[in-house]
A and B are shown apart, each in its own frame.
Chain A
Amino acid sequence: MLAAFENNGFNGFSVALIAGSSPIGCIFAGLLFGGLIYGGQSVQLAVGAPTDIINIMIGTIVFFVALARVVTLLAEKLGKRGANHA
């Protein structure tokens, strides 16, 4: 029974983060996670990879969501540099 609820709360956290705190986005982020977690259970049978690889994937996704702001920062910097040269 305990295993059935394992990490669902925490995954909910990640879903909200990926959705960028938008309720509509949560539907799609939730679908993504559902697919990943469900797929994680069968990935072992299908290709012989350990199920834990799904946690690594989810972790990587969330990590790059955290880094998302970097893209806008970079764009700003590059934009400024372009303006200086002009």
Chain B
Amino acid sequence: MLNNILLLLGITLMYSTPLVFGALGGVISERSGVVNIGIEGMMTIGALAAVAGSYFTGNPWMGFIAAGAAGGLFAVLHALAAVTFKADQNVSGIALNLLGPGIALFLARLMWDGGTQSPTITTLPKLFGSGAFQGTPWANLNVDITVVLGLAATLIVWFVLYKTKWGLRVRAVASTPAAADTLGINVSRIRFICVVLSGILAGFGGASITLAIISQFTQTAVAGQGFIALAAVIFGKWTPHGAYGACLLFGMAQALVVILGGGAIAVPSQILAILPYALTLVVLVLFVGKAVAPKADGVPYEKGSRG
């Protein structure tokens, strides 16, 4: 029994981590007033950059950094379109979701001789080193180091948004950009920085899939997790801590799939495959209540307009 509970906990943390990074990216972008549905594309780019970094340097940490850098660079596209040129943020996000997997698969084919699947790479270390608590149920809690990084990132984003002057400005820019502008805050610059930060975080999210969970890049590495992360942003009411909780819940749904699939109780695999998505729907419909987005979320700010 203890073993099963710890196993559930371990797998939940493992599967929720990419969602946590993706959702934090969503939170920081939408908290500055830019809708970012391109998280999925940014995560795919990050997932590939992580594998490429680890493959060519042999050091998974280089891969992790490369993922952040690649995600951030890719997000510059969205920032340029949505902030600088005041384009439709949803359309730009969709473009990113199309471009991301396209570029990632294209580069993967170039790097690994026409195949979209990379060789297995060196992954990030476990929290207590490999083989700690071997043979005891507690070994299930020897989670990937990305789990801790995800928690740390959540705390940092929370601290920055709610306890620093800059965070206050970010939130002001999302709710009343005109007022913030009057007080001398550069709305465009803050939004630009936040979108790039969201790309960096989403890139880390992609990295925590390929560098910790599956240890290679495949065509289906990300497979919709960016969209689940977006659902977590809304479920968490646009707060970092709320989004973290939401990601844990969605991670647990995936963990249940793994554990129930283990064969203790006979459940058809098709039913199991729907579980995370069905749970997402049920939770969003029944328990979320009214989710209120930041007031000027998704509205490009024209200098001089009364926002």
Contacts and interface: CB of A to CB of B under 8 A. Distances in A.
A53 B106 CA distance: 7
Contact of B106 (A10, A14, A52, A69): A52
Interface residues of B, number: 24
B95 A70 contact: no
B76 interface: no
A43 interface: no
B88 A56 contact: no
Contacts of A10: 94, 97-98
Given A62-B98, A67-B81, A67-B85, A17 B91 contact: yes
Given A52-B102, A53-B102, A69 B95 contact: no
B87 A70 contact: yes
Contact of A56 (B77, B92, B99, B114): B99
A52 B109 contact: yes
At the interface, is chain A mostly helix, strand, loop or mixed?
helix
A65 interface: yes
B52 to A, nearest CB: 16
A60 B114 contact: no
Given A66-B87, A70-B87, A59 B96 contact: yes
Contact of A60 (B86, B99, B109, B116): B99
B101 interface: yes
Contacts of B88: 66, 69
A59 B91 contact: no
A73 interface: yes
Secondary structure of the B contact surface, majority rule: helix
Contacts of A50: 105-106, 109-110, 114
A22 to B, nearest CB: 15
Nearest to A57: B102
- Residue from the set B101, B106, B110, B114 with the largest chain A CB neighbour count within 10 Å: B106
30 contacts: A10-B94, A10-B97, A13-B94, A14-B98, A17-B94, A50-B105, A50-B109, A50-B110, A52-B101, A53-B102, A54-B102, A55-B98, A56-B103, A59-B96, A59-B98, A59-B100, A59-B102, A62-B98, A63-B77, A63-B92, A63-B96, A63-B99, A65-B91, A65-B95, A66-B87, A67-B81, A67-B85, A67-B87, A68-B87, A69-B88
Interface of A: 10, 13-14, 17, 50, 52-56, 58-60, 62-63, 65-70, 73
Return the 4 tightest CB-CB contacts between A and B, nearest first. A55-B102, A59-B99, A59-B98, A63-B95
